[in-house]
């Protein structure tokens, strides 16, 4: 016996709950590896673009020997730098493998490299927010 009764509040809550869980998983995946959240949502073009954009910015920043901020900072700008760097996901851990000598911000190139690394984190944050909105059904 099928009924066309309107959804009650509890059934609406239960049906919206899996969507919220999928959105959170997509957002975490998008942060961990840039583009992975979009890949899980089958948005191939956006996934490739985000991976290449964030990866390109991060690799150029590392190549310029930009500074990667750590969690122990004494000033607010260092904390903001850490936040921007950490938002780049897996690319945050890459400089330990690529550059053992550390940053070189004594030259302008190193300072620009620091900015590229921060930009990689901001672009990845936009990708995380986009993946969350797509998975939650707020954006097509």
Contact indicator for 6, 124 with CB cutoff of 8 Å = no
- What average pLDDT does this structure show over 127-131? 95
Is the pTM higher than 0.85? The answer reads no
Asked if the model's pLDDT at residue 92 lies above 90, the reply is no
Reported confidence tier of residue 126, pLDDT bands at 50, 70, 90: very high
On the CB side of 120, how many CA atoms lie within 13 Å of its CA? 31
- What average pLDDT does this structure show over 71-100? 82
The first and second tokens of residue 31, run together, are: 């942060």
């Amino acid at each position: 016996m099928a009924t066309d009764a309107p959804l009650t509040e509890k059934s609406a809550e239960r049906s919206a709950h899996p969507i919220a869980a999928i959105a959170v998983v997509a957002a975490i995946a998008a942060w961990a590896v840039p583009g992975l959240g979009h890949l899980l949502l089958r948005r191939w073009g956006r996934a490739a673009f985000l991976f290449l954009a964030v990866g390109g910015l991060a690799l150029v920043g590392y190549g310029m020997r930009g500074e990667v901020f750590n969690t122990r900072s004494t000033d607010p700008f260092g904390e903001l730098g850490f936040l921007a760097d950490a938002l780049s996901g897996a690319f945050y851990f890459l400089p330990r493998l690529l550059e053992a000598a550390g940053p070189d911000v004594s030259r302008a190139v190193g300072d620009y490299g620091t900015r590229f690394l921060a930009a990689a984190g901001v672009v990845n944050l936009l990708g995380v927010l986009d993946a969350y909105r797509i998975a939650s059904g707020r954006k097509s």
